[in-house]
Amino acid sequence: MKRTILLLTPLLFSAGCSLTSPSDPKEDVGPVIAHYTLTAVDGNPPPCCASDSAGVRITVVGGALTFHGPAGYRDTVFTPAGPRSRACVHGVPNGAFVNSRTYTVTLTDGTRYLLLPCDRGAYDFIVIRRLDPEGGSSTTDSIVVSSGTFSAKPDTIDFADSRNPSSFTASVTAPTVLVTGPTHQYRFDPGN
């Protein structure tokens, strides 16, 4: 009896552990797959949106929304270009034009949609600010407004902010991405 239990232990252990479980470590952040530049905050182009805080005038001067693909290939597929993560392999209809700078797919009938290079990964959204203290010299800093994971499909991006999963939403009109947060709306267009 003791020997049977010992022999079954590895089998039970491997059967009880799935390939992906909630306790698995999060996938590492991979390479940058798309970069968008902040072009407006609440409809105003930077520099804009000055506010005062404890005697410091804060002005938004820029920002970026950056998407990172998966770091590993847990879901490897083999393509003519070599192994890739399944999250970064897409099919488009025959005759479609893919603009790799704007991530826009244009179909033969003229319909356009946004298709990020990978359909999942990590993102970060930063704002660059100029701080003008009363009687002092200006400085510039950047703050992370939101970061976490994303999932995407044509013309749709869903964010899961690492601090508050439902606090930021995106709407897409190719190639523009509008990110709505708790207090502001940010417009991003393909950047360098």
The CA–CA distances, whole Å, from 126 to 62, 148, 188 equal 9, 12, 11
Whose CA is closest to 169, among 144, 143, 151? 151
Whose CA is closest to 108, among 92, 91, 100, 96? 96
pTM above 0.85? no
Torsion of CA 157, 146, 123, 179, to 10 degrees: 30
What DSSP state is assigned to residue 47?
Answer: S
* Bridge partners of residue 131, in order along the sequence: 58, 139
Q: Where are the domains of the chain?
A: 28-70+119-190
The CA–CA distances, whole Å, from 128 to 9, 69, 139, 141 equal 55, 23, 11, 6
- At residue 90, φ and ψ (nearest 5 deg) are -125, 155
Q: What pLDDT tens digit does each residue of the chain (192 aa) get?
A: 454 443 333 333 333 333 333 434 455 788 899 999 999 999 999 888 777 778 888 899 999 999 999 887 677 888 888 888 888 888 889 999 999 888 999 999 999 999 999 999 999 999 999 999 888 889 999 999 999 999 999 889 999 988 887 789 999 998 999 999 998 999 999 875
Contact 87, 69 (CB under 8 A): yes
What DSSP letter does each residue of 81-144 carry, written as one string? TEEEEGGG-----TT-EEETTTTEEE-TTS-EEE--SSSEEEEEEEEEEEEEETTS--EEEEEE
Estimate the share of the chain in helix, then strand, then coil, as percent rounded to the nearest 5.
10, 55, 35
CA 95 to chain centre: 28
* Bridge partners of residue 62, in order along the sequence: 128
